[in-house]
């Protein structure tokens, strides 16, 4: 069992946090939850209060005596889901002005996984520069952009395609991650053979005769 920190900000998309915490708990991991003051308002507004049920340890965003504020803690990694652009900027600047930003800074300095999940778009240059800074510092930025090749039927399936990426980069075992969302194993459709100019099916070594002339398709 590993111990992870989950930071939640006031950005829209708190369902991503709820599903991330749910799977971490299901896979036997401990979760410390830090929610900013705007984050609490958004959680309630978006109907995601169930998030607290999946987290064993809930910390006040102003509690700098929490375990995750120290580099000597046994924290395995952290995800900020969803991450507001304001919080992204503070992490990029290393301000450590609240527990969430401090815990993220600890992960960076201790070379532990830090996953940042912005949902807001489009990006301005300040956002992009901040993403660049945290990436160079060792974080992984995963935009809240679901995949569609699995033909999801529910909002939860869409969300889980992003959650699977979060779990993967936190270091959760790949076999468990694969149970969260479909893993791409190549196109399973039957692809028709390419056709030559005459419209006949051909392959790299096929020979076709047209008007008495033999040609090799390449």
pLDDT digits (tens, 9 = 90+) for 126-143: 999 999 999 999 999 999
- Same domain? For 20 and 67 the reply is yes
Q: Do both 153 and 201 map to the same domain?
A: no
**Ordered strands of the 57-59 beta sheet:** 57-59, 30-35, 3-8, 77-83, 114-118, 140-141
Residues 18 and 83 occupy one common structural domain: yes
35 and 135 share a domain? yes
CB atoms within 10 A of CB 6: 27
Q: Is residue 54 part of a domain?
A: yes
Same domain, 157 and 193: no
Mean pLDDT of all residues belonging to the chain = 91
Q: Quick one: 172 and 70 in the same domain?
A: yes
Segment 35-54 mean pLDDT: 98
- Domain range for 127: 3-177
Total tally of structural domains belonging to the chain: 2
Q: Do 115 and 28 fall within a single domain?
A: yes
182 within some domain? no
Q: Are residues 43 and 135 in the same domain?
A: yes
Q: Find residue 35's DSSP bridge partners.
A: 8
Token pair 């969803």: residue: 82
Cα–Cα distance for residue pair 94/89, rounded to 1 Å: 9
CATH of the domain at 92: 3.40.50.1950
> What tokens appear for 42 in the block?
């958004």
What are the tens digits of pLDDT across the range 164-212? 999 999 999 999 999 998 777 776 666 666 777 676 655 555 444 444 4
């Amino acid at each position: 069992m590993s111990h992870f920190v989950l930071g939640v900000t006031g950005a829209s998309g708190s369902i991503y946090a709820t599903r991330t915490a749910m799977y971490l708990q299901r896979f036997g991991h401990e979760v410390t939850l830090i929610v900013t003051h705007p984050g609490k308002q958004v959680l309630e507004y978006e109907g995601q209060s169930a998030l607290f049920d999946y987290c064993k340890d809930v910390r006040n965003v102003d509690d700098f005596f929490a375990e995750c504020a120290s580099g000597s803690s046994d924290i395995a990694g952290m995800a900020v889901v969803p991450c507001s652009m304001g919080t992204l900027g503070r992490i990029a600047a290393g301000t450590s002005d609240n527990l969430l930003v401090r815990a993220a800074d600890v992960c960076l300095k201790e070379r532990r996984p830090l996953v940042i999940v912005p949902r807001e778009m489009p990006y301005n240059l300040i956002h992009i520069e901040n993403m660049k800074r945290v990436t160079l510092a060792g974080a992984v930025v995963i935009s809240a952009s679901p995949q569609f090749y699995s033909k999801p039927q529910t909002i939860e399936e869409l969300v889980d395609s992003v959650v699977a990426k979060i779990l993967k980069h936190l270091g959760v075992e790949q076999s468990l991650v694969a149970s969260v969302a479909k893993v791409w194993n190549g196109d399973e459709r039957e692809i028709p053979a390419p056709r030559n100019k005459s419209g006949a099916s051909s392959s790299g070594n096929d020979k076709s005769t047209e008007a008495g002339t033999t040609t090799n398709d390449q």
